């Protein structure tokens, strides 16, 4: 459904990080970038809301009036997942409308390119999607889902053929579809949550956490932290970077720091002021003290949703055009009466 891309490079300590393009299938197991199916990051999701008072023309999973449309959408979702797992780009992209756009501003062309890059990096990538709810309204449908992806890659940051990488990703969000004639097409999607993990060498067996808020206001500071449960005999260095989610992706500057016992690293970060969602990236290098050899690498990414800053001048302009809200007018009138 949608693809996000992230690439970063590390040159310190002999680490040369290859561009990492991960696309974790969001909502229908299509592609999404840097989002692994996490054995390490499994997340318990809250159940979809299926009841409400005074329903009116709202829609529920139990509403049978749209059963035929739901079955059509379910068929499309199953087909997309099958074609994505078969790495059939033409059939996958055939499910997208030409006007497709996602909540990060990526269009159909960007998704197609990212999906190709992802499959090239992870030739055995497979995805799975669990639908939580399907809502139908006329010729439009919204699908809420949780999606996971796994895969392996021979590419690694230090070009060591003995180190293969294992990808796992998880994402949650909504897929938007529109029916034209007899066909449903994807017109957009929104990703609310996503995490990715790619581990090499001994890092595959380590317990690592990457914590940060899921949402922050534009321009505000927040902290991101990585913790590693490191066995005796090993040292770890790490870096944490952030960049706006956009395509093509830029290469962030990384500053490597030693992760002193208890092997943690925390960084204070300012969210961008361009009202773009962000990709947080953590990289950990693990060295065997005795051999002084790099024996493991872990790459972690997670989404940061950035809430746009409200422009006061636009509020003033809207107030001048449409008038102040009723409660503000009442307060103003009371004040005038007292005066």
Query: Coil, strand, or helix at residue 224?
Result: strand
Asked if 303 and 296 count as a contact pair (C-beta separation under 8 A), the reply is: no
Which pLDDT score, from 0 to 100, does residue 262 have? 80
Distances (CA, A) of 258 to 79, 262, 269, 292, 302: 47, 11, 19, 15, 22
Asked if 156 and 297 count as a contact pair (C-beta separation under 8 A), the reply is: yes
Q: Please spell the DSSP secondary structure of 294-324, one letter per residue.
A: EEEEEEEEEEEEEEPPP-HHHHHHHHHHH--
Asked if 50 and 34 count as a contact pair (C-beta separation under 8 A), the reply is: no
Which pLDDT score, from 0 to 100, does residue 69 have? 94
Which pLDDT score, from 0 to 100, does residue 169 have? 96
Asked if 242 and 278 count as a contact pair (C-beta separation under 8 A), the reply is: yes
Within 10 angstroms of residue 117's Cβ, the number of other Cβ atoms is 20
Q: β-pairing, 234-244 with 257-258?
A: antiparallel
DSSP summary character for residue 329: H
- Token duo for residue 293: 């050899």
Report the sign of the C-alpha dihedral through residues 44, 302, 144, 78, in that order: negative
Within 10 angstroms of residue 162's Cβ, the number of other Cβ atoms is 8
| The CA-based dihedral angle spanning residues 132, 135, 140, 141, taken in that order and rounded to the nearest 10 degrees | 10
Whole-angstrom Cα distance, residue 6 to residue 243? 9
Which pLDDT score, from 0 to 100, does residue 238 have? 93
Overall pTM > 0.85: no
Which pLDDT score, from 0 to 100, does residue 117 have? 93
Per run of 10 residues, the mean pLDDT along the chain (length 339 residues) is 32 31 28 32 30 40 76 96 97 97 92 94 95 95 96 77 87 96 96 93 92 92 93 92 81 80 89 88 93 92 88 65 58 55
């Amino acid at each position: 459904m949608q693809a996000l891309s992230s690439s970063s490079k590390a040159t310190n300590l002999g680490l040369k990080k290859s561009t990492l393009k991960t696309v974790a299938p969001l909502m229908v197991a299509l592609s999404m970038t840097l989002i692994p199916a996490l054995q390490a990051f499994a997340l318990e999701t809250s159940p979809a809301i299926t009841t409400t008072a005074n329903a009116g023309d709202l829609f529920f999973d139990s509403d049978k009036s749209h059963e035929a449309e739901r079955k059509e959408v379910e068929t499309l979702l199953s087909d997309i997942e099958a074609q994505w797992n078969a790495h059939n780009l033409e059939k996958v992209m055939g499910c997208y409308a030409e006007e497709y756009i996602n909540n990060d501003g990526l269009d159909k062309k960007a998704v197609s390119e990212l999906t190709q890059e992802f499959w090239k990096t992870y030739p055995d990538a497979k995805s799975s999607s669990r639908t939580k709810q399907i809502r139908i309204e006329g010729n439009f449908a919204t699908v809420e889902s949780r999606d996971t992806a796994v895969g392996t890659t021979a590419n690694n940051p230090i070009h060591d053929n003995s180190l293969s990488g294992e990808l796992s990703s998880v994402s949650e969000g909504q897929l938007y579809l529109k029916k034209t004639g007899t066909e449903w097409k994807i017109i957009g999607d929104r990703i609310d949550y996503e995490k990715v993990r790619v581990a090499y060498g001994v890092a595959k067996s380590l317990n690592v956490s990457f914590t940060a808020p899921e949402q922050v206001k534009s321009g505000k500071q927040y902290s991101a932290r990585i913790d590693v449960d490191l066995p005796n005999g090993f040292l770890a260095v790490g870096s944490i970077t952030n960049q706006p989610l956009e395509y093509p992706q830029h290469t962030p500057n990384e500053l490597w720091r030693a992760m002193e016992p208890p092997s943690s690293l925390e960084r204070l970060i300012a969210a961008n002021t361009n009202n773009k969602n962000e990709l947080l990236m953590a990289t950990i290098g693990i060295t065997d003290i005795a051999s002084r050899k790099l024996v493991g690498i872990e790459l972690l990414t997670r989404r940061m949703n950035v809430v746009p800053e409200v422009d006061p001048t636009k509020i003033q302009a809207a107030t001048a055009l449409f008038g102040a809200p009723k409660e503000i007018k009442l307060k103003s009138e009371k004040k005038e009466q007292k005066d």
